[in-house]
Each structure stands twice: as structure tokens, then as C-alpha cells.
A and B are shown apart, each in its own frame.
Chain A
């Protein structure tokens, strides 16, 4: 039986989150899962995605924390003068300390969608307590293969042209300058270098791309096209859920996503009898 607790925490007692605590106490060295905000959406996630993820993982024995970063959702400002990246690192460090104190876990897997994936990357670069990360629509870069797959079918199909132009026109009509999931990516070389360093530290990394980001990722092979031999290492994996949207608005898509997340965690950070090891 999992217990969920709403908690106020952080260096300025400014953060709000919900910890999911499975009944069995976590053994030393076990992992807890920390879920970061998706864009500006509060900790429940788009369409309650984060609630569904954390409860499913709780049922497998993983302690979880879904929380709001500084100034998002129910969290306040820490009133520190520091960059957003520093603030995110400090917020997640606070979140890890909180989950450690409540669940006894000492290592953590970060999970984030879109800007949440970006923030998970920022933290994972130099946080020694992070053992793994799941990036939903995280970094990827257009490649020659991407462009061929994107444009060649359109040359042959009037229907695809029609759909492509409809999307462009509708996007232009909808442009209001307030994209809730707007992110900009750092240079590919930098990301590649940072991912390599993470793997060298023994981290496990999983990238899941949705059909909602076909503007920059359109085939599972693209991951290797982006990141080269790095993609061949067994500690890193990637998959594409084509046909879904960016935020998994349909239940059938959310279920596929949840199954994949659970299976990856069980492979890389298995639970035994309701606790993780």
C-alpha cells in the first residue's frame, strides 16, 4: 500500500511536492524517482500524466516525488540571486534530500517531459546522486536522414503536402508567442560530450520521443545519426512512439508510455519484493 504525502520543503521552504512512498522501506542504495515539471504545467503533469506515472511506479515499489520547481505550480521563489540553471539544480537537490529522508533512497532517476527533460539533463550533468534519467522529448538534432525522411514522402504524396501545409497554416494562425513548451537546445557537440560523461559515470539513460516532435525527430535510427557511437553503448537507449502527440493526450498512448518507463526501470533498477535495489 502506497502512501502519498503533500510536502513543503526546500532550502527556503518554498517548494511543494507530493511524495509517493511504498509501504516497504527502501534498502540502502535503492533508487527514488523524481518527476520534473513539463513546461509551465504544475506537478500533476499534462492530463495528470505525472500522477499516473508516479502511482504506477509506486505500485512497483519505487518511491517517487512529483514537485513544482521554484515559481511554478504551488512553489514560491527562493529569493536567491542566481541563474535559472543554478536554481533548478538546487531545487532538484532539495527534492532528492527530501525523498532520501522519507524513503531512504540514496540514488535517483530523474524523469521529465520537454523542458522537464532539459532540466533533467542540466541536473544530471554534475549531480552525483543521479543514477539515471528518462528524457521525454529530450534533445535530438535534425540530420540528413531526418530531412530525407521528412521531405521525400511529401514529394510523392498530394495528401501529405495538404496535411503539411494545413499544419503550417494552422501553426501560423495559432502563433500567439506563448508556447507553453518552448525550449531551445544547446549545440549538439556539447550535449554529446555531456551524455558521454554521464555514461562514463555509470548512469543509465533512456530517451523517449513522441510523435509530437516530428519537426526534429522522425525515426528511431535518428538517435544514432545524432549522437554517433554513443548510441551503441548499452547504458543508453532510445525509442520513438510515432503517432502520439507531445503530451500523450490519449489514454492508450499514456499506457504505452507508462509500460515502457516501467519496463526500462525494472531492467535497469529492478525492484525486489516491493523495494528497489
Chain B
């Protein structure tokens, strides 16, 4: 969320300029919200999203809510969409397989501790244990993620795909035939060790989401 803060703000601003009310929020244990990073919990993230949807309904008076989420935010949106009574999902490179994601983050964390661009000398496994790319991770979240798999939700889904060409994602196989895919021309740098402090920026994504919602309106 630290890295995608800027693009979320830009997206929310762009939507507000189109007359669309938007609410962005931090899950418990992330960003400015209460809680420590190692207290992030999958079930609580789902509940936070439902609470956020209720807040936006109450503040804006709108009756039709669309969920947007990037990476794991997209996974949470998929999981909580029905309970939050969302009418559509817009997902940016959502994580579809929690087990694969956990394995990938473990590999990245191990690479981080020996990254010569970050540390003068390799760090021990103990120093790097229980963390993913700068954030402490609770054993509970790790277990929850490890067993999570995406399932097709009962509402329309559009995936904005900016995964690198090496990552082959058949979104239709994963989310059913009803999913629509918008391919973005530029790959996002989600998992590059030398860019952990860099904001994720994507004018293509903001334009594509704005265009989609303009057409849908």
C-alpha cells in the first residue's frame, strides 16, 4: 500500500473529477490505520472492506458501489465483494493463488537479505525471518494466504492486466468466462527488489479505469 498510495490518490482524484465519489482506506495494520504490520489479518481485511463500503454508502448516498483493488487488494475485493454488496469489481493484477504468492514473497525476501545493492554484507536468515519486503508478517496471515484461492464472484469483473509478459495469466480460467480484461501497455514493477521504495505509477491504469466507468455510466 505504501508503494501504491500515489496511484490510488490519483485514481480517486480522477474519479472525483468525473463526478464519482471514491473512498480509499488502509486496512488495520497498514498505512495510517491502527495496528502493527504483523497484525494484518485476512478476515479483518475483509471486514474492513465491508465497513469501508458502508462508510462510502453513508457519506455519498450512492446505491451502486464498485470495488477497485490492486494485487492483494484485488484478492480481498474478490473475497468480500458479495458481503459488501458491490455491483462490479475492477481488479488491477489481482493475486489469484495465495500459495503461489506466499512462495514468491519468500523467494523475494530471501533475495532481499543478500541483495548487494541494499546490504554491504548479506544478512542472516534470522534477521530476515517473518517479514516480506520490509513488513513484518504474522504467522496467521501467512497461513490464511497460503490456503486462499480466488473463486469467480457473483458480479461482473474487469481485470486490468499489467503483469510482465513472463507471467502468464489466463484470467478467464481463473475467474470464469464473464471476466473482461483490459491489457495495459506498461508492466507495473510490483516485485522488483530495487524499486521497493518507489511509488507504483500508472497513467494507463487511471485512464483505463476512467474510460471504463465513463462508458458504463
Could you tell me which A residues sit within 8 Å of B by CB distance? 4, 6, 18, 39-48, 51, 73-74, 163, 166-167, 170-171, 174, 178, 180-181, 211-212, 214, 242-247, 249-253
Please give me the residue from chain A that is nearest to B2 by CB atom: A44
Q: Which 4 A-B pairs have the closest CB atoms?
A: A47-B134, A249-B134, A245-B118, A174-B194
Is B2 within 8 A of A250, CB to CB?
A: no
Is A170 within 8 A of B2, CB to CB?
A: no
- CA of A250 to CA of B127, assembled, Å: 7
Decide if the interface of chain B is mainly helix, strand, loop or mixed: loop
Please give me the residue from chain A that is nearest to B119 by CB atom: A245
The residue in A42, A171, A214, A253 that gathers the most chain B C-beta atoms within 10 A of its C-beta is: A42
Is B131 within 8 A of A251, CB to CB?
A: yes
Q: Contacts of B32 on A, CB cut-off 8 Å?
A: 4, 6, 18, 43-44, 51
Is B127 within 8 A of A252, CB to CB?
A: yes
**Cβ of B44 under 8 Å from chain A:** no
Could you tell me which B residues sit within 8 Å of A by CB distance? 2, 5-6, 9, 30-32, 34, 37, 112-113, 116-121, 123, 127-128, 130-131, 133-136, 194, 196-199
Pick the contact of A73: B5, B117, B123, B135 (CB < 8 A). B5
Q: Contacts of B112 on A, CB cut-off 8 Å?
A: 249
Q: Contacts of A47 on B, CB cut-off 8 Å?
A: 2, 134-135
- CA of A252 to CA of B118, assembled, Å: 15
Is A41 within 8 A of B31, CB to CB?
A: no
Is B2 within 8 A of A46, CB to CB?
A: yes
Assess A243 versus B131: contact at CB under 8 Å? Given A42-B5, A44-B31.
no
Is B136 within 8 A of A251, CB to CB?
A: yes
Q: Contacts of A170 on B, CB cut-off 8 Å?
A: 116-117, 194
Q: Contacts of A174 on B, CB cut-off 8 Å?
A: 117, 194
Please give me the residue from chain B that is nearest to A242 by CB atom: B120
Pick the contact of B2: A6, A41, A167, A246 (CB < 8 A). A41
Pick the contact of A249: B5, B37, B133 (CB < 8 A). B133
CB distance from A3 to the nearest CB of B (A): 11
Sample of 7 A–B contacts (CB below 8 Å)? A39-B197, A42-B5, A42-B6, A44-B5, A47-B135, A73-B5, A245-B119
